[in-house]
Amino acid sequence: MIEQRNICRKCILPDGFLGVNLNSEGMCDFCSDPDHKNINWSRREISNERRQEALANWNSVVEEMQQNHGKVPYDCILGYSGGKDSTALLDHLVNDLGLNPLAVTSDTGFMTTIAKDNMKDTLAQINVDQVLIEECIPTFTKIYKYHFFNHNSNEIFLARYICDFCSDLIHSIVVKEAIRREIPNVLFGYSPDQIFRYFYEMPQEEVIKEWKPEILESPFFDDSDSRWYLTDEEIENGNLPRVLLPYHVIPYREQDIIELVESKNYIKKGHADPLLTNCNVVHAATFYDFNRYGGILYAYQYAELVRQNPESRRKWLRTLKMSAPLILENTFKQREVNDFLEQIGVSQEEMLEHIKEQLEKDPKRRQIETNINMFRKKRRNKKPIAVPQ
Ligand SMILES: [Zn+2]
């Protein structure tokens, strides 16, 4: 059994987990203070008033799109990934609202076969046009490579960085397509729990200021990379589309979404599981993070679920105990992780060596190694890392 005294007695976060400490009563910062925030995680609550306002706005946007329907080539652009949420949103736009969206997909180079199959099956049944952008793949690869080799934070998970930089690039590419075609609304199918950065609308100010990363100025990148981000000219022309996240305001139940996409044969049974469509980059970043920080970004999310439903604590502890050694030793998504590492040109051993160098410079090294050992020790036939006394 996992040593319980190392783990928050209310949720599942271990003592010393990135930015988290247990107090004398064995409770973590997040459990002892509901308003606690750190750079990796903060709980965000949206007031009912704000939600209603956003819903009213969405309804007016829909009305406007319906009024213009037929007068423009496309009513809106949908960022389409082949996952269950963007697939269900596509169905909603076309079959419930009678709209004609343009589905825009930017290939990161790490799209899973399942996501590609999903798109084929869906577009065979929903008659919309799709733009598949593949020329951006080298830029995605460079962004990943840059972060895996240059991540040197003692405070922020690699997965947090990677997901933010990668989604900013995806958003940029889709928005540029909208600018080029003068389409005023861009939609993404983010689910209601994905509100860490945005609720309902990505504010234009952030679209302009935050999406283009400073790392582009590094000699590692060139013009062939910056062309995927908004140019000064595009920004100055002021014709930026609105970027909206309808599932933050319209009804959303994960189970209903899965049933919908499976019953309409858009996605094969069992293939709507988010773990399957999750990209391999995330799996690789998770492998990195666990070995580097003794924890993973998702643990914050699971811990929040436990706080909301204390009865689920045992289930999540068991999940943690089972999956932690697999992630640490890269046997959870081994093939996916290794494929990814190969594509960015590094072996698993080299990556572990790189992680070790980073870990050695971390002032919290001892606590991190204690946590890693706590999870690793449970596996038989594996030697625990020696913790200096
Ligand atoms: Zn806690």
Give whole-number Cα distances, 1 to 7, 331, 353, in Å: 12, 21, 29
What is the predicted pLDDT for the residue at 389?
44
Ligand 1 centre distance from Cα of residue 332 (Å)? 25
Query: What is the Cα–Cα distance from 365 to 359, expressed in whole angstroms?
Result: 6
Residue 244 counted as domain residue = yes
Give the domain-ending residue among 263, 281, 307: 263
Q: At which residue do the structure tokens 């690793």 appear?
A: 376
Find out whether 157 and 18 touch, Cβ atoms under 8 Å.
yes
Residue 271 counted as domain residue = no
Q: At which residue do the structure tokens 């005023």 appear?
A: 184
Query: What is the Cα–Cα distance from 322 to 375, expressed in whole angstroms?
Result: 9
Ligand 1 centre distance from Cα of residue 49 (Å)? 29
pLDDT tens for the chain, 389 residues long, are 455 678 999 999 999 888 899 999 999 999 999 889 888 888 778 899 999 999 999 999 999 999 999 999 999 999 999 999 999 999 999 999 999 999 999 999 988 888 899 999 999 999 999 999 999 999 999 999 999 999 999 999 999 989 899 999 999 999 999 999 999 999 999 988 887 789 999 999 988 888 999 999 999 999 999 999 999 999 988 789 999 999 999 999 989 999 999 999 999 988 877 665 567 898 999 999 999 999 988 888 889 889 989 999 999 999 888 889 999 998 888 888 999 999 999 999 999 999 999 999 999 999 999 999 988 865 455 455 555 54
Give the domain-ending residue among 263, 284, 319: 263
Residue 269 counted as domain residue = no
What is the predicted pLDDT for the residue at 229?
96
107 and 226 both lie in a single domain: yes
56 and 109 both lie in a single domain: yes
Ligand 1 centre distance from Cα of residue 117 (Å)? 40
25 and 61 both lie in a single domain: no
Taking the whole predicted model, whether its pTM rises above 0.85 is answered as yes
Ligand 1 centre distance from Cα of residue 316 (Å)? 13
DSSP H or E run through 283: helix 280-293
Give the domain-ending residue among 241, 263, 285: 263
Find out whether 319 and 326 touch, Cβ atoms under 8 Å.
no
Ligand 1 centre distance from Cα of residue 19 (Å)? 12
- Residues lining ligand 1 (ion), CB within 5 A? 8, 10-11, 28, 31
8 and 156 both lie in a single domain: no
118 and 139 both lie in a single domain: yes
Residue 292 counted as domain residue = no
211 and 255 both lie in a single domain: yes
Ligand 1 centre distance from Cα of residue 329 (Å)? 26
95 and 219 both lie in a single domain: yes
CATH number at residue 133: 3.40.50.620
Query: What is the Cα–Cα distance from 216 to 143, expressed in whole angstroms?
Result: 9
Cα 256 to chain centroid, rounded: 21
Which tokens go with 40? 């990796």
Give whole-number Cα distances, 182 to 57, 69, 72, 241, in Å: 21, 15, 10, 8
Ligand 1 centre distance from Cα of residue 155 (Å)? 18
101 and 193 both lie in a single domain: yes
63 and 163 both lie in a single domain: yes
Amino acid at 172: S
Residue 227 counted as domain residue = yes
SS3 (DSSP) at 350: helix
What is the predicted pLDDT for the residue at 175?
97
Ligand 1 centre distance from Cα of residue 132 (Å)? 43
> What's the total number of domains in the chain?
2
Find out whether 58 and 249 touch, Cβ atoms under 8 Å.
yes
Q: What residue numbers bound the domain in which 348 lies?
A: 4-38+297-376
How deeply is 166 buried, as exposed, middle or buried, from its count of CB atoms within 10 A (0-12, 13-18, 19+)? Answer: buried
127 and 167 both lie in a single domain: yes
257 and 169 both lie in a single domain: yes
Residue 367 counted as domain residue = yes
Residue 348 counted as domain residue = yes
Ligand 1 centre distance from Cα of residue 308 (Å)? 11
Find out whether 362 and 289 touch, Cβ atoms under 8 Å.
no
103 and 10 both lie in a single domain: no
Q: State the DSSP string of 216-262.
A: GGSTT--HHHHTTSPPHHHHHHT-PPEEE-GGGTS---HHHHHHHHH
User: How many of the other CB atoms lie within 10 Å of CB of 135?
Assistant: 12
Residue 274 counted as domain residue = no
SS3 (DSSP) at 85: helix
Ligand 1 centre distance from Cα of residue 145 (Å)? 34
